[in-house]
Structure 1
Amino acid sequence: MEVDTNGSRPVFDLRVPAATVTRDFGVSACAVHAPERGGTVRAPPTQRQGTAFAHSRAWHDTGVERRGREDTLSELGGLLTALSAKPVVAVRYGAFPGGASPGDGPGPLADQIHGLVAELHRTWKRYLPSGATPPSASEIEGLLEPLGADAAIELMATLAADNLVWPGSKLMNREIADDTVTRIVHGFGAGATWWTNRRGASWDAVTACTFDGVVAGSDGEYFAILIQVGED
């Protein structure tokens, strides 16, 4: 981890092609990523760089300029994209247009989860019961439970690496998933809040799929979501 010459924001040593990251600063002011995993995007082993980053500035920096905001989204997007494996594992990340206090609860995150779930439903439509629709944003909000940072790291890495439908089947290398998720969660800082629909081996479904699991977090300015879905 480096700090830029102005000392204003953290800089990741992220070796992914810039072309793999898409940023959307239009009406929604959020960026969405759920690409096919074809080996084109991989976060390298990071030797636990996230641990050191936890003690530097969090992404939520009140003095960040527009350029810094775009760079932050690019870094966050590169890390999350390395965890995605559409259509089984999808991610979404971005910045809330007006900001949202971490103490506001999962409402703003539930809206973003609902949008991602709606996209997944279009992909999985032929495998779902006729007429199946995703829960509303308010229903998803009621299904989410808070997570501590360590629990968020463990669960997000599990959802990225381990197949919910076929236990023992790997979606990606677990060590790389652990390292990547650690950087994401520590990057958000100690003031971030994390949420999930899973409680141990049980869950409250946020999709119409037989299996699903989501972890979502925000520091009040930026947000990150990872979801795995599946049918047996």
Structure 2
Amino acid sequence: MGLLAELEAGMAELSTPMRVYVAAGRFTEPEADLPQLAARIRTLLVAITTDEAWRRFLPGYAPPSVPEICAALEPVDTHRAAPFLAQVAAVDLLWPSHRHLPAESAEPAADRVVSLLGSKASWWTNHDAECGAVNGLTPLFDSLLAGTDGEHFALALQIADD
């Protein structure tokens, strides 16, 4: 199995219906960086707006522009990426005691995805680690982790409404 297929399979393991949306792929642009990653994040946000489960919560919502998404993102150290990815996939944003996925499946899948992108990958989130705030990408509660090695990308976004 090639890297892209493994990356897609690993991200699919981290997805849960109507809560954790994922995407993985290969950039068409050479040496892609944050703007190209933000464009893929925007594509994922557009997909959520067309999901029947969320459409009623997002009337009139248009995903932020690529520059706005770039501005909302904070870097994540590579050594923190796998635990963060497992958390986005498994732990409910509103009810942390509720799990979307068991840790026994989320943690190995997240480790594998981070390993596939490699130690030189860059990782981004909409969380501000300094103050704990979240730069929301939607009018709902959301938590994002996005990574790229410059050729491939992986995105996980959990969305919730109270």
Corresponding residue for 2:9? Answer: 78
In structure 1, how many angstroms separate the alpha carbons of the residues matched to 2:113 and 2:144?
15
In structure 2, how many angstroms separate the alpha carbons of the residues matched to 1:109 and 1:205?
17
> Could you report, residue by residue, the CA deviation over 1:50-93 in whole angstroms, capped at 9, with x for unpaired residues?
xxxxxxxxxxxxxxxxxxxxx22111111110110122101011
1:181-220 to structure 2, matched below 5 A, reads 181-200=110-129, 201-209=132-140, 211-220=141-150
- 8 Å Cα contact 1:100-1:108 kept in structure 2: no
In structure 1, how many angstroms separate the alpha carbons of the residues matched to 2:155 and 2:135?
17
Q: Which residue among 68, 93, 109 is the counterpart of 1:164?
A: 93
> Could you report, residue by residue, the CA deviation over 1:145-185 in whole angstroms, capped at 9, with x for unpaired residues?
11111211121110101000222111011132111111111
Alpha-carbon RMSD across the aligned residues, in angstroms, is 1.4
Q: Does 1:117 align with 2:117?
A: no
1:21-170 to structure 2, matched below 5 A, reads 71-101=2-32, 104=33, 106-123=34-51, 124-128=54-58, 130-170=59-99
Output the TM-score relative to the length of structure 2.
Answer: 0.91
Q: Aligned AA for 2:81?
A: A
> Could you report, residue by residue, the CA deviation over 1:187-224 in whole angstroms, capped at 9, with x for unpaired residues?
21121100000135420011222x10110111111111
Q: Aligned AA for 2:154?
A: A
Output the TM-score relative to the length of structure 1.
Answer: 0.65
Which secondary structure does the structure 1 equivalent of 2:56 belong to? Answer: helix
Which structure has more helix as a fraction of its residues? 2
Shift of 1:132: 2.1
Higher relative contact order (CA 8 A, sep 6+): 2
Unpaired runs of 5+ residues, structure 1, are: 1-10, 12-70
Identity %: 35
In structure 1, how many angstroms separate the alpha carbons of the residues matched to 2:78 and 2:149?
12
